[in-house]
Amino acid sequence: MNLCSRFGAPSRRDFIGQLSVGAAALALAGRAGAQAAPRKLGIALCGLGNYARGQLAPALRLTQHVELRGVVTGSRDKGLAWAKEFGFPEKNVYSYATMARLIDNPDIDLVYVVTPNALHPEHTIAAAWAGKHVISEKPMAISVADCDAMLTACRVNKVKLSIGYRLQFEPHFHELKRLARDGDFGPFKTMSGGLSFTMRQMQWRAQKALAGGGPLMDLGIYALQAACMAAGAAPVAITARELPKQRPEFFRDVEETIEWTMEFANGAKGDFSTSYNGGLDRFRADGDKGWIEFAPAFQYGGLKVNTSRGPLALAVPPSQQAGQIDDFARCILENRESPVSGAMGRRDMVIIEAIYKSAAQGGKRIEVVA
């Protein structure tokens, strides 16, 4: 797979990796004495770009507790083609303007919002007011204020909100969280890494109005998430700087490259970078008694992880996204909150706003206030 093609431009998601198709491994316990599992929940994909086609659609062929039963799209013809391919009725094809009609459709229990970042609030709120649970792709929104509006809409309508943090369900990152919790290597005191690739053609991710920012929103959020996993907490302060642009005509209103340091309450620090003009895919955390390093760190598959005790090679499911979606289905069926909730998405947007604020103020130390 090349660095291809979303909206005719190289896709960051294709850069991260390629989904392998196989069988998903999550299972939901049935009622005591029951012979049949609960019915599958119906999901509608809101936005039919490359991620929906290349990653989520294959994942939904593997999920045990969810099946694709509708779409929301700006192209009626595209929606009808999906309906034919996936076997759901044409009445389950919606436009963005008709999302309110989802309220009358019992086929659909949840909506996965996969539109550009700035549109996540509008589409999440529309789904919530239609009484549907929501997964918003990351980043949750482009401002903390938008996150708050999404959380309010979901709370008022008594629906659950989850964020598309697929790596929270990846076994090697589960081990990172366990190491942080159990202290096998001691508290992780230093962290480093980041994610970068070279964007060669203009696309919406380089437009602030739709993306909210540049590679920090798109790529850097992975390193931010990993650091919070390794620290077991959110940072208390940020310092950051934006590097001079090598292609200012291309990145007119978003950063091309940005570097930042995260400080944690226990004295731990993490140094990270992200860019649309380079190549980087790494995360490392060091403690007094050992270390763990991911390289590559953030792909859809094929992660390579070494530790001070030797390589870490865990059995992985064929689809990170299938595990992520199935877990949210279980949250709905069991009436519990998602481990990648809207609150986590808001936390990360608070951190991102602090990074941008520090960079705009010449690297001033900014305290992170929830």
Give the architecture-level CATH label for domain 171-314+346-367. Answer: 2-Layer Sandwich (3.30)
**DSSP states of 87-144:** T--GGGEE-GGGGGGGGG-TT--EEEE-S-GGGHHHHHHHHHHTT-EEEEPSSS-SSH
Cα distances (Å, whole numbers) of residue 355 to 216, 255, 367: 9, 12, 10
Range 296-324 average pLDDT: 96
Q: Indicate if the pLDDT at residue 19 is higher than 70.
A: no
| Number of residues assigned to the chain | 370
Helix ranges (H only) for 285-341 are 320-334
Give pLDDT tens digits for 347-368.
999 999 999 999 999 999 999 9
Work out the pLDDT band at 162, boundaries 50, 70, 90.
very high
Give pLDDT tens digits for 115-133.
999 999 999 999 999 999 9
Work out the pLDDT band at 304, boundaries 50, 70, 90.
very high
Q: Indicate if the pLDDT at residue 275 is higher than 70.
A: yes
Global confidence as pTM: 0.90
Q: Indicate if the pLDDT at residue 30 is higher than 80.
A: no
Contact by Cβ (8 Å): 163, 135: yes
Contact by Cβ (8 Å): 281, 127: no
Share of the chain above pLDDT 70, in %: 90
215: alpha, beta or left? (left if phi > 0; alpha if psi -120 to 50):
alpha
Domain ranges of the chain: 12-18+38-166+323-332+335-339, 171-314+346-367
Q: 12-18+38-166+323-332+335-339, what's its fold?
A: Rossmann fold (3.40.50)
Q: Indicate if the pLDDT at residue 24 is higher than 80.
A: no
- Looking up tokens 């999920």 gives 63
Give pLDDT tens digits for 203-254.
999 999 999 999 999 999 999 999 999 999 999 999 999 999 999 999 999 9
Range 12-23 average pLDDT: 38
Instruction: Tell me the pLDDT of the chain averaged across its residues.
Output: 91
Hey, how many other C-beta atoms are within 10 angstroms of the C-beta on 118? 19
